[in-house]
Amino acid sequence: MNHFTRRTLLAIACLVASPIGAEAQSPAPAATIVVASTTSTQDSGLFEYILPIFTKKTGIAVKVIAQGTGQALDTGRRGDADVVFVHAKAAEEKFLAEGFSEARRPVMYNDFVLVGPKSDPAGVAGGKDIAAALAAIVAKKAPFVSRGDKSGTHMAELALWKSAGIDLAAARADWYREIGQGMGATLNTASAMNGYALTDRGTWLGFKNRGDLVIAVEGDRRLFNQYGVMAVSAKKFPHVKTREAESFVNWLTGSEGQKAIADHKIGGEQLFFPNADQPGA
Partner 1 sequence: MEVAGFLAAAAEIFGGSIPGFWPIVGLSLGVTLTAVALAALIGMPAGALLAVSRFPGRTILIVTINALMGLPPVVAGLLIFLLLSRSGPLGFFGWLFTPKAMILAQVVLVLPIVVALTRQTIEDLWREYAEHLASLDLTGIRAVPTLLWEARFSLLTGLLAGFGRASAEVGAVLIVGGNIVGHTRTMTTAIALETSKGDLPLALGLGAALLVLTLGLNILAFGVGRVGARNAG
Partner 2 sequence: MHGPTSIMPLRVEGLSFEVNGRRLLTEVDLTLDRGGVVALVGPNGAGKSLFLRLCHGLLTPSAGAVRWGDGDGRRAGVKAHAMVFQKPVMLRRSVGANLTHALAAAGHGRAARRRRVEEALVRFRLDHLADRPARVLSGGEQQRLAIARAWALDVETLFLDEPTSQLDPAATRAIEETIVMLEGEGRTIVLATHDLAQARRLARRVLFVLGGRIHEDAPAAAFFTEPKTPEGIAFLAGDLLA
Dihedral pair phi/psi, residue 190, rounded to 5°: -60, -40
Least separation in angstroms between CB 86 and partner 1: 15
- Is residue 2 close enough to count as binding partner 2 by CB under 8 A? yes
Query: Which residue lies nearer to partner 1 by CB, 103 or 192?
Result: 192
Distance CA 57, CA 55 (A): 5
Among 4, 18, 25, 279, binds partner 2 (CB under 8 A): 4
Q: Is 170 in the site for partner 1 (CB under 8 A)?
A: no
List, in sequence order, the alpha helices (H) in the chain.
Answer: 3-23, 39-43, 46-58, 69-77, 89-97, 130-140, 152-163, 168-171, 183-193, 201-206, 242-253, 255-263
Site for partner 1 in 98-157 (CB under 8 A): none
Cβ neighbours for 165, distance < 8 A, ≥ 6 positions apart: 131, 135
Euclidean distance between CA atoms 195 and 184, whole angstroms = 14
Among 33, 60, 64, 142, binds partner 1 (CB under 8 A): 64
With CB under 8 A as the contact rule, which of the stretches 73-81, 107-115, 162-170, 269-277 interacts with partner 1? 73-81
Residues 6+ positions from 233 with CB-CB distance below 8 Å? 99, 100, 101, 102, 240
At residue 225, what is the residue type?
Answer: N
Does 12 engage in binding with partner 1 (CB under 8 A)?
yes
Q: Does 159 bind partner 1 (CB under 8 A)?
A: no
Contact footprint for partner 2 (CB under 8 A): 2-4
Residues found near partner 1 in the complex (CB under 8 A): 1-2, 4-5, 7-9, 12-13, 15-16, 18-20, 22-23, 25-26, 34, 39, 43, 48, 63-66, 78-80, 181-185, 187-188, 191, 203, 206-210, 237, 239
